[in-house]
Structure 1
Amino acid sequence: MAAPDPPAELRITDPRALRALAHPARQRVLTELFSGEVLTATEAARLCGLTPSAMSYHLRALEKWGIVERDESADGRERPWRATADSIAITPEAHRGAGLERSRVSIHTWFADLEGDLDRMTRAVADGGNHGMTSRGRLWLTDDEERELRASLHELMRTHRGRTSRDHPEGARSWNVYAMILPADDTPAPPTT
């Protein structure tokens, strides 16, 4: 029996859950699990350079917050783990309750791979290789329009999810995808005339 389709988005609202996310090994395994991979603790440990028992500890900590779960569809001695959703959203409530420093650590840990990915893109550009895409711009959006844009991006990414290192089209390669919609500054929008 196959596992049910996960919900599109897991919303983290409890500031204590940020602590569960703020660990490099957990971030590494979450990248894989939230990309559709289903991994045993041993496989996840290999990816992170940890022992299987250490990785089991990390996976159970993530399970406590509903971020990962055991995959019931697997047979065998060691049941694998899977993500409980397609993506994670950390809500403003979680950040407000966590305080500035814990939020800063959480966000910087969450995007720790970004610098390495930018370095790889720079090398690919210099070598004339396929480097993906970068885009930067500014949009003036109402709060409702921002939520609509975010939902559209999630839906577009969802159409390509489910492909794993074991099950993808021939010739496919892995790409790290970062989607950020960030306020341009801290000031409220000027009144329209």
Structure 2
Amino acid sequence: MAAARSSGKAPRAARPTDPVVLRDPRAIKALAHPARLAVIDELFGGRKLTATECGEIAGLSASAMSYHLRALEKWGIVRRSATTGDGRERPWEAAGTGLMVDSAEPRASAAGEAILVARQLDRQRADTLAWISAQDEKSASWYDSAVIGSGVFWLSREEAKQIGDRLSEIVAQIPRRTAAEAPADAHRVRVSHSVVPIPAGQDQSTEQA
């Protein structure tokens, strides 16, 4: 995560082709809530949902979900979509193509980032184990397309940044579309990537001779 100067204000609304960049520790903390993260995947996956629909996903009432959506709106993470034209409840949508954390105050944002990352890893773990545990025809047909890998390397900061940038570029090229826009044989796929230094002393097996 590259450091950037934080203004202490909510980020400007991103254009549809831009990610939402979170720099204020309070914005990062606001996102790190299970009910909010439950709908973030859906909204940033291209869906437009009402507070009622978001509440059904998060297991909350529409009024309780509205509170969480307004909190996300305050920090420019989600926004109201265009009116439906038929008087129904206005839906919510993502304010950009993705989310990025770029805090200038690492210590102040550390707690919020830790919660956010933990929630994301929990969801990734649950999705991965559920797929591996599935013993049906569909899971078998996707066997060659599913990739789970990890490795430990000795890299300079610049090399690590280059790898992270390249991975982010690849992910950015993935089409953002809803279920209605996807091909008939499409399946929801979670694409995750990370380039994270291992704290000193925690991986003695890779120490240089």
TM-score range, shorter chain: 0.7 to 0.9
CA contact (8 A) 1:36 1:161 kept: no
CA contact (8 A) 1:12 1:90 kept: yes
Give the distance between the partners of 2:62 and 2:100, measured in 1 at CA: 28
Q: Counterpart of 1:120?
A: 130
Q: Counterpart of 1:81?
A: 92
CA contact (8 A) 1:14 1:97 kept: no
Give the distance between the partners of 2:106 and 2:68, measured in 1 at CA: 22
1:55 is aligned to 2:65? yes
| CA pair 144-73 structure 1, distance change in 2 beyond 3 A | farther
CA contact (8 A) 1:35 1:161 kept: no
For 2:99, what is the secondary structure of its paired residue? strand
Unaligned runs of 5+ residues in structure 1 are 188-193
Q: Counterpart of 1:177?
A: 191
CA contact (8 A) 2:20 2:99 kept: yes
Shift of 1:98: 2.9
CA contact (8 A) 2:79 2:92 kept: yes
1:155 is aligned to 2:169? yes
Q: Counterpart of 1:96?
A: 107
Q: Counterpart of 1:19?
A: 29
User: Which residue identity does 1:84 align to in structure 2?
Assistant: A
1:45 to 35, 52, 55: 55
| CA pair 80-174 structure 1, distance change in 2 beyond 3 A | same
For 2:46, what is the secondary structure of its paired residue? coil
Q: Could you tell which deviates more after superposition, 172-181 or 140-149?
A: 140-149
User: Which residue identity does 1:166 align to in structure 2?
Assistant: A
User: Which residue identity does 1:62 align to in structure 2?
Assistant: L
Q: Could you tell which deviates more after superposition, 144-153 or 104-113?
A: 144-153
Shift of 1:143: 3.2
Shift of 1:34: 1.1
Shift of 1:20: 1.0
CA contact (8 A) 1:22 1:110 kept: no
Shift of 1:33: 1.0
Q: What percentage of aligned pairs have identical amino acids?
A: 34
Give the distance between the partners of 1:11 and 1:144, measured in 2 at CA: 21
CA contact (8 A) 2:103 2:109 kept: no
Q: Could you tell which deviates more after superposition, 124-133 or 73-82?
A: 124-133
Shift of 1:121: 3.3
For 2:122, what is the secondary structure of its paired residue? coil
Give the distance between the partners of 2:186 and 2:44, measured in 1 at CA: 18
Give the distance between the partners of 1:104 and 1:67, measured in 2 at CA: 19
Q: Could you tell which deviates more after superposition, 15-24 or 156-165?
A: 156-165
Query: What does the per-residue CA deviation read over 1:73-124, in whole Å, with 9 as the maximum and x for residues that have no partner?
Result: 643432211111222122243542134x444323212332122123113314
Unaligned runs of 5+ residues in structure 2 are 1-13, 202-209
CA contact (8 A) 1:13 1:91 kept: yes
Shift of 1:162: 1.8
Q: Could you tell which deviates more after superposition, 14-23 or 75-84?
A: 75-84
When the two chains are superposed, the root-mean-square deviation of aligned CA atoms in Å is: 2.6
Count the aligned residue pairs.
183
Give the distance between the partners of 1:105 and 1:69, measured in 2 at CA: 23
